[in-house]
Amino acid sequence: MNKKNISWIIRIVVALLFIVSAIAKLYPSPYFAISTFEVKQLYTLGFSESLASYFSRILIGIEFALGFLLLNNHFLKRITIPATVGLLSVFIIHLSYVTFLSGGNSGNCGCFGELIPMTPIEAIIKNIIAVGLLIWLWKLLENDKKSNFWIVTSVTLVCILGLFMLAPMKASSVSISNSNGNSNINDNNNVNSNISVDTISKLSDSIKTEKIKTEKVVEAIKKEVGPKQAISGYSDLYIDIDKGQKILCFFVPGCEHCRDAAKDLNALQKKHKDFPQVQIVFMDEEAEKIPDFFKYAGKQFPHKVIDIIPFWTKLGTGKDTPGVVYLHNGNVIKFYDGITEKAFNSKALEKVIYKK
């Protein structure tokens, strides 16, 4: 096989690698995929919301551009190949740092978005191979002859502007609180003000008629009152979320696992008349499927729809859908997310709530 054929094979392979990578970051829909990439990959690197919106589109646009530019001969050896090697080197350095911190054996590096999950170690190997192929290509090619710089710049600008047109930036549809942790509120009485008069009356009658021991009375009150009042950080979603026992869900309307979780929660509510109130936050992706979502679940729960980036931000770094949070007086008692080891389990939640 001659040099020309080898060089073209390398060009096509690496070009496809970049083009597929860029396309994958737009799956299943451009705005959803880019927003998810920003929250899960760029926010963790310290990017602000506004900077991440620009950087993500420019980065994906450059990936498209490099893929196309590798298939033409304009400044191929002087600009395109060095730029491609430089970008891959930056990726390798970043992924090596991530691997050093996390071990690199879990998580999705985001190279191919959510379409093809890849661990940091796998991505490093892929990028090193690509760099090796490009160095080989650079040695095989002769020096650039007549090249048009405007073709290089035009392809790059068109790809970047195309991304901004394909996935326009949107303003957040809900305000976001930076803290999802619990911060205690001083409460000298440490008693939930929402205890019903009926509950207190029943406890009093029980003491008088059945002579329950003081220890049992205290235990019953504690069970009714719950843990010390706290702030969950979700009150901007539902104003009453920190009062008593609540189940807060983060669902995507078209997600099968989210639908199954909602169906299980409906079954628990039917089984236990005193089951905590369920409130849902939907991601604004395929919102038209919400009626079918509730039809499958068997019940329509209180719900609201928020934009993709605020949704991911509220769900929390490193967490995935379906997200199910059990709160008591604003304290996060249990947080289920994703479909792996932390996935929602209705039986496990039932044991947590009813101490079985």
The number of angstroms, rounded, from the C-alpha of 55 to the middle of its chain's C-alpha atoms is 18
Cβ proximity of 83 and 65 under 8 Å: no
Cβ proximity of 216 and 316 under 8 Å: no
pLDDT value for 143: 86
326 φ/ψ angles, rounded to the nearest 5 degrees: -100, 115
- Domain residue spans of the chain: 3-166, 183-187+228-354
Q: What's this model's pTM, rounded to 2 decimal places?
A: 0.69
Cβ proximity of 224 and 192 under 8 Å: yes
Confidence of residue 346 (pLDDT cuts 50, 70, 90): very high
Confidence of residue 249 (pLDDT cuts 50, 70, 90): very high
pLDDT value for 356: 59
Confidence of residue 68 (pLDDT cuts 50, 70, 90): very high
Output the average pLDDT for the chain.
84
Domain range 183-187+228-354, CATH class: alpha beta
pLDDT tens figures, 215-246? 544 444 445 567 899 999 999 999 999 999 99
Residue range 63-87: average pLDDT?
95
pLDDT tens figures, 137-172? 999 998 888 889 999 999 999 999 999 999 888 765
Say if residue 116's pLDDT is above 90: no
Closest CA to 56 of 73, 77, 41: 41
Say if residue 193's pLDDT is above 70: no
pLDDT tens figures, 35-54? 888 888 888 788 888 899 99
What is the torsion angle, in degrees rounded to the nearest 10, for the CA atoms of residue 304, residue 310, residue 313 and residue 316? 10
